Amino acid sequence: MTVIALLLAFGAAGWFGWRWWTAGRFEETTDNAFLQADKVVATPKVGGFVAEVFVSDNQPVKAGEVLARIDERDYRIALFQSQADLDRSKAGLEGVAAALIQQQAKIEEAKADVATMTAALDFATEEQKRYGDLLHSGAGTIQRSHQATSDLLQKQAALDKARASYDAAQKQTDALHSLEAAARASLQRAEINLDQAKLNLEYTTIRAPIDGVVGDRSLRKGQLVQPGANLLTIVPMGKSIYLIANFKETQVGAMVEGQPASFTVDAYGDHVFHGRIDSFAPGTGAQFALLPPENATGNFTKIVQRVPVKIILDDNDPLIQRLRPGLSVEATIDTRARPGTDHAGAIASRADDERR
């Protein structure tokens, strides 16, 4: 019996030694690892009283599915008011446009008057000169010469008046163009307000931003909510879940992206899940703490730091649908693999066989 026990002990030691030499010395393991998911908090964009709630706790939802509705009556009234403001702005712009058309007609009329008065002045000038020449030659009378001069002065005054009317009409047109620009700006503002009112009315319907399961629900019917308030959280499941493993800095030297990973979840015993390294955090976990350590002091004590490693899961395991963010995990990385080579696939396959 002693010999058999010794043989068994040597056999076991040999097997473990062979296992360590061929695989174990290339594996890095940590139990400082947890499942995570990119959860999204559903928040309202407008405030008001919750009129309807369509989801319950832990309910699966699809992206775009209606979660709740806020009382929309105030926002519908605001939409009607914005529409009325838009109609009023359109009418104002149309009124200014009509006034511009009328003013243009007045300008043309004043322009014609100036042309008429100019022609009349030219004729009166010629008449005044002709009667003046007749007076000097003795063929005309003083009275007729004075009458021609008076007529010339009247035509000059009439031309000045026509020109003044034309200038006034031009200035009035400039003023109307300014009113038109203001009316267009008012119309544009009314259109923007109408678009915002439509958006606000649409925002009273709260929809799921992503696929997932409802969690941390504080949303209740009749509740008064404000923009940005946390109503519930949508947690993605299945292949959207990933693993964050916090390896010691002394363990990550041989790790590269794409290396195979295996892990067990405390909730599911010895069942082995598989994945691969996706990326490494840009700093150790301590660097992203609320109060990062300040090592430039006289009482420095060296502590092994941990580097968060993101591992994405293979989605061909049916049990992956039962995983939940936050579950504790023990993760192992096979550092023999070098992604991008055929040798990497062979090592990963052999590692899986050894675990079985």
Both ends of the chain: CA-CA distance in Å? 30
What is the structure's pLDDT at 9? 65
What is the structure's pLDDT at 135? 63
* Residue 81: other Cβ atoms inside 10 A: 13
pLDDT at residue 2 above 80? no
What is the structure's pLDDT at 121? 72
Comparing 287 with 188, the larger pLDDT belongs to: 188
pLDDT for 307-355, tens place per residue?
999 999 998 898 999 999 999 999 999 988 777 544 444 444 444 554 4
| Amino acid code (one letter) for 188 | Q
For the range 154-161, what are the long-range contacts, defined as Cβ-Cβ under 8 Å and sequence gap of 24 or more?
154/124, 155/117, 155/120, 155/121, 155/123, 155/124, 156/121, 156/124, 158/117, 158/120, 158/121, 159/114, 159/117, 159/118, 159/120, 159/121, 161/117
Dist. CA 302–CA 205, nearest whole Å: 54
pLDDT at residue 80 above 90? yes
What is the structure's pLDDT at 180? 85
What is the structure's pLDDT at 1? 61
Among 116-130, 214-228, 263-277, 279-293, the minimum mean pLDDT is found in 116-130
pLDDT for 115-158, tens place per residue?
887 887 777 777 767 766 666 666 666 677 667 777 777 878 87
